[in-house]
Chains A and B, each alone.
Chain A
Amino acid sequence: MSTPPAEDGTDATMGPATDIETTSNTFLGDFWVNFKRWNLKAVRNPFVLVVSLVQPIIFLVLFTQVFGGVATQAINRGAASISYETYLMPAIAMQVALAAAATSGVGLVNDIEQGMFEKVLVSPMSRVGVFAGKSGAELLRIAFQIAIILVLGVALGGTVETGFVGALGVMAIGVLFAIWFMSLSNIIAVITRDQESTIIGANLLQFPLLFVSTAFLPLEALPGWIQTVATYNPVTYGVDAARAVILDQDVMTVIEVTQFGGIWNTLVPALVVLVALDVVFGTAAVVMLRRATSADVE
């Protein structure tokens, strides 16, 4: 404790500020501060980043090797000739988005447990800016992970018919797709305030959602009841949108849309569904977070 005292004998550096009328915080500044913090934490704790990548990579490699032959027949009933690697890439991209989004609530629970949540709430930062910064960092991570999957998919023999722009489009779809599940993960986190429950809750949903969708096989190759469930499964819309971009063709079969032409017949309805889901789940998450940060903190 070696700070020199001021001339009047007190510690000038420890004295209170005289101007307490204003705060210089801005929404963008608060967003940026939190965006940086959560990115730094991701870099400091690469375990989360690696774990949410490992399983999808294993799926990509094993599914193409084990089921490649059978699945290629199922997906090429028409005249087209699509490799299973190409067919699987959008599914794995959405799986990465799901797996990474599932960990979003864990970060929130960590902050609650470590007291950082309360500390942030008692600062003059905009609460929307705080959560937007955290979400922004997580979505950037998801985009980065999808890029890795696309590179790996191409290395295994897959193709992105729409090229580099198409790859960016798949990343954007992945981000849009992740928001609703990220919101759900945060809702579970606010309700349970427990890491394990949040992880289990989000993971419990992850695999059923993937398998009862068009992720791994075309709709017509699935049993009847799964076809019905797949129609209402958000994963179907995320995967179909990404697949339409990767294959550069209309792939949607759960809804028949013809008025937009080409891949837009898939993209428009899929994006409408994803945006609607994001709005619904995002609003629910904001309401839950607002309740958790106001009078019902205890």
Chain B
Amino acid sequence: MPEYAIDATDVVLTYSDGTEAVRGVDLQVPRGEFFGFLGPNGAGKTTAIKILATLLKPTGGQVTVNGFDVQREARQVRASIGYMPQETSIDPEMTARENLRFACESYGVPRSDRDERIAELLDLVDLADVAEKRADGFSGGMRKRLDAATALVHRPPLVFLDEPTTGLDPKARNRLWEYFERINEAGTTIFLTTQYLEEADQLCDRIGVIKAGEIVAEGSPTELKRRVGGEILDVELSDDAADPEQAATVAREAELFEEEATIDVTEDGITVTSERARSHGTDLLVALRDAGLTVTGFNIRAPTLDDVFLAITGEHVPEDAADAVPSEAVEVSR
């Protein structure tokens, strides 16, 4: 078995109209790793995953998946991976068991193993009770779980999960997370794209951030958060006299924070990212008060992946994913 489940060097995909969807991506994912792939909408996440899953041909670079070349040995790559696309991909006219049987047959699972494998997977994703029911009557969560099970019938050493929990309620999402953790603990390499940063934070050993087709950051969630530098001080100003620009100017002129600190204007106040956020936070509040600005709230917190995402990509996570970002804030005063 190769050292890396995914080994990609200088991968390029340029469409015929000249659009560069993937630009010189280098990526190594060791076997057994839970790797997260983050990026803003349109950054190239799905294009990259489709190249790795042999659905798109790169226009440049070298890619091996489980030791097989994605262009010359596409069939071997396909036999050695599981793939759960962004949109649920099950046949609604077939029952849960029939969907799994079709997947077993598609991947050439030996006939003698099929019944046992299907029973195990139905049990694992909690669909044993509805095994004989048609999937068109399933909820979104049940469909996703069945979809995930169909990607695993052949026990692939590498599974691609493209935004697997998008649109699910928190309970269904948690159940899938538990399920992904279990298969990863059992030795399966997982390549996950997600817009839920909480998901990446909780599940992934390592994260790569892609922006405009290029990987712009890579590391463990802790390393990436450390790169933001220090802690985050959020200051909320009164609605009546809100002038975040003035507050930012006061914060800069007060020279309370180190040169590397960043001061960003938000909708209702400012956010300071600094090593001295905790020690000089109250001094900033005094300076703002002296400048005639009314502070209605503030908190100091550790950086989240959202802050990492913002620092690296210049964008917040998409609106619809914001609900899933946990409040990691440690409110020290209000």
B-contacting residues of A (Cβ < 8 Å)? 1-3, 10-18, 20-25, 29-30, 33, 37, 40-41, 44-45, 114-116, 118-125, 294-295, 297-298
Query: B55 to A297, Cβ gap below 8 A?
Result: yes
Are A17 and B155 neighbours in the complex by a CB distance under 8 Å? yes
Which residue among B81, B89, B98 has the maximum number of chain A CB atoms within 10 Å of its CB?
B89
Closest to B81 in A: A122
Closest A residue to B155 by beta carbon equals A17
Query: B53: which A residues are within 8 A, CB to CB?
Result: 122
Contact of A20 among B79, B103, B187 (CB under 8 A): B79
Q: 17 additional contacts, CB 8 Å, given A1-B179, A17-B157, A23-B76?
A: A1-B126, A3-B123, A3-B124, A16-B156, A16-B157, A16-B186, A16-B188, A23-B78, A24-B110, A33-B106, A40-B93, A115-B88, A118-B85, A118-B89, A119-B85, A120-B106, A123-B103
Does B50 sit within 8 A of A, measured CB to CB? yes
Instruction: Report the interface size for chain B: residues with CB under 8 A from the other chain.
Output: 58
Q: List 8 A-B contacts (CB under 8 A).
A: A3-B123, A14-B155, A16-B188, A20-B157, A114-B91, A119-B85, A120-B106, A298-B50
A14 touching B188 in the complex, CB below 8 Å, given contacts A116-B90, A119-B85: yes
CB distance from A122 to the nearest CB of B (A): 4
**B272 to nearest A CB, angstroms?**
41
- The reply to whether B75 and A14 contact each other, CB–CB distance below 8 Å, is no
Q: Are B75 and A10 in contact (CB under 8 A)?
A: no
Q: Are A37 and B57 in contact, CB atoms less than 8 angstroms apart?
A: no
B120 near A3 with CB under 8 A, answer: yes
Known: A10-B185, A13-B124, A15-B187. A124 touches B108 (CB 8 A): yes
Chain B nearest CB from A148 CB (Å) reads 23
Establish whether residues A297 and B50, one from each chain, have CB atoms under 8 Å apart when the complex forms. Answer: yes
Q: Once the chains are docked, how many angstroms separate the CA of A243 from the CA of B108?
A: 45
**Are the C-beta atoms of B124 and A14 separated by less than 8 Å?**
yes
Task: Tell me the bound Cα distance from A124 to B73 in angstroms.
Answer: 11
B155–A37 touching, CB < 8 Å: no
Complex Cα–Cα for A120 and B99 (A): 12
User: Once the chains are docked, how many angstroms separate the CA of A119 from the CA of B85?
Assistant: 8
Contact A119 to B89, CB < 8 A, known contacts A1-B178, A11-B183, A14-B152: yes
Interface residues of B (CB under 8 A from A): 1, 15, 47, 50, 53-57, 66, 75-76, 78-81, 83, 85, 87-94, 98, 102-103, 105-108, 110, 117, 120, 123-126, 134, 150, 152, 154-158, 175, 178-179, 182-183, 185-189
- Per the bound structure, the CA–CA distance linking A297 and B49 in Å amounts to 13
Q: How far is the CB of A82 from chain B (nearest CB, A)?
A: 43
From A20, A33, A45, A294, give the contact of B93 (CB < 8 A). Answer: A45
Q: Give the chain B neighbours of A40 by CB distance below 8 A.
A: 93-94, 98
- Chain B residues with CB under 8 Å of A295's CB are 56-57
Residues of A near B189 (CB, < 8 A) are: 16
A3 to chain B, nearest CB (A): 5
Residues of B within 8 A of A11 (CB): 124, 182-183, 185-186
Find chain B residues with CB under 8 A from A44 CB: 93-94, 134
Residue contact B186 to A14, C-beta cutoff 8 Å: yes
Most buried by B among A21, A30, A124: A124
CA gap between A16 and B79 in the complex, in Å: 12
* Bound-complex Cα distance A208 to B40 (A): 50
**Residue on B with the closest CB to A123?**
B106
Distance to closest chain A CB from B322 (angstroms)? 26
Tell me, in angstroms, the Cα distance from A136 to B175 when the chains sit together.
40
Residue of A with least CB distance to B102: A37
| Residues on A with beta carbons closer than 8 Å to the beta carbon of B85 | 115, 118-119
Chain A residues, CB < 8 A from B134: 44
**B108 adjacent to A29 (CB under 8 Å):** yes
Q: Pick from B89, B117, B175, B186: contact of A15, CB below 8 A.
A: B186
Of B66, B79, B91, B187, which contacts A10 at CB under 8 A?
A: B187
CB pair A122–B154 under 8 Å, yes or no, is: no
